Amino acid sequence: MMKRFITLITLMLSILLFLSACASDSSSGREDKEKTITVMASGVKNGTQGIFLEDFKKLVEKEYPDTTVEYTLLPDDQYYTALKSKLSTGQSPDLFLVQPKKAGANSVEEMAEAGYIEDLSGLENWDKIIDQGKEDMSFEGKPYALSSSIGVLGTWYNKDIFTENNIEIPKTWDEFLSACETLKKAGITPIVMGDKDSFMIQFGMYQVAANQVYPNNPTFDNQLYTGETKFTDDEWVKTITMYKELYDKGYVTSNSLGLGQPQAQQIFKDQQAAMIFDGDFSFPALNNDNFEVGFMGLPANESGEAYISAATGAGFAISSKSENKDILNEIFNKMTDGESDLYNIWIKTATSFTTYKGVELSNPVFNDVVPAFESGRSFYWSNQAWPAGTEAQMQAKFSEMIGTGKASPKDVAKAMQDKFEELKGE
């Protein structure tokens, strides 16, 4: 009797061990099938990229049940440093944000030349992208990244404050300065900037440059490389001088170097300042229920019609080291098919103009800049044509100038030229 009992117990233990092993094998099989897509981008949670990535995660995980999306969102300055570190250590995210042309340390040209990103020549819907969107995200004739937007740098303004102070949208630089003076005399800070995040200096500077540098010489940046033009030429010295004037006259918050972009945006939303220089991409962060926002190009022109600073926005590239290239190519094809849920969330990242053919502007807040864009009165963001690092030197020297008063516009221009000469041959 006892022997039969022991035999029965032994048999039951064997069955349990067998079932446990099967369960373990099954679980292991499931883990082998599961994929994790890592995504890295710059931006803020309630900004364009933050909203897109949250929707992207939900949709991809829904359409590909065996796939998990993990994304990291960092402020611009931290993003470049973190991305560089990951790339140099072979730990690249599967998908990451790159800038068009030569713009910044993570430009599409630099990333493609270094072999960090995948050639997208097999993308099914590439021809549905407008020429500007294709050219700015290509290198040596091949596509390497996908951008949904034409980004516009502009002047966000509080329509209620303008109305209360009888200010009409200024058409010239003198009219803009007059509007700022009216606001200042009324006890209202005309412009808030978060220059602690020094990239914001570009947001105003390039609007001035679009009116002062390029209309008379659209090839100015190309000629920098041949030596026909220099940053120390009158056009750029005047651009820097005009932008500095806003600080000299007290039209920009005096503590701008102590404020970051999110703080500056909040001050604008709290109606403690009438304007902020920022991009169309910041609409989600600046829109609110307390007042009506407007968006105009900075009229940095003496007469006539103003130009705007508009360029292909940042886009996503697939890492050349990714083990998920097949699924990511499928996702990119859906993002550009014109009908899928992935396409719908992708196209929403284009807050004003889009790179996708046939899609019209849907947000009326950008109506004021449509005429300039459609008539060709627009130029790319200046740094997109410069070696990465030139814009950082501009920001550093401009910050020194407004912070200490120990530099002049000519000093800023010379620092830019010196850095350009240093970098252009690298």
Query: Does residue 376 share a domain with residue 239?
Result: yes
Least confident of 6-10, 108-112, 263-267: 6-10
User: Global pTM?
Assistant: 0.75
Range 134-149 average pLDDT = 93
pLDDT value at 43 more than 90: no
Query: Does residue 211 share a domain with residue 121?
Result: no
Query: Does residue 277 share a domain with residue 160?
Result: yes
pLDDT value at 29 more than 70: no
Number of structural domains in the chain: 2
Query: Does residue 319 share a domain with residue 251?
Result: no
Work out the pLDDT band at 179, boundaries 50, 70, 90: very high
Domain presence at residue 273 = yes
Enclosing H/E stretch for 421: helix 409-424
HSE, CB side, 13 Å, CA atoms: give it for residue 198: 16
Return the DSSP state at 315: E
Query: Does residue 304 share a domain with residue 188?
Result: yes
Work out the pLDDT band at 424, boundaries 50, 70, 90: confident
Query: Does residue 327 share a domain with residue 300?
Result: no
Domain presence at residue 10 = no
Which percentage of the chain shows pLDDT scores above 90?
A: 72
Residue 185 to residues 188, 224, 225: CA-CA distances in angstroms?
Answer: 7, 42, 45
Query: Does residue 164 share a domain with residue 142?
Result: no
CB 350 within 8 A of CB 149: yes
Domain presence at residue 118 = yes
Provide the residue range defining the domain that includes 84. 35-147+313-357
Query: Does residue 326 share a domain with residue 305?
Result: no
Query: Does residue 88 share a domain with residue 212?
Result: no
Query: Does residue 274 share a domain with residue 162?
Result: yes
Query: Does residue 175 share a domain with residue 118?
Result: no
Query: Does residue 406 share a domain with residue 298?
Result: yes
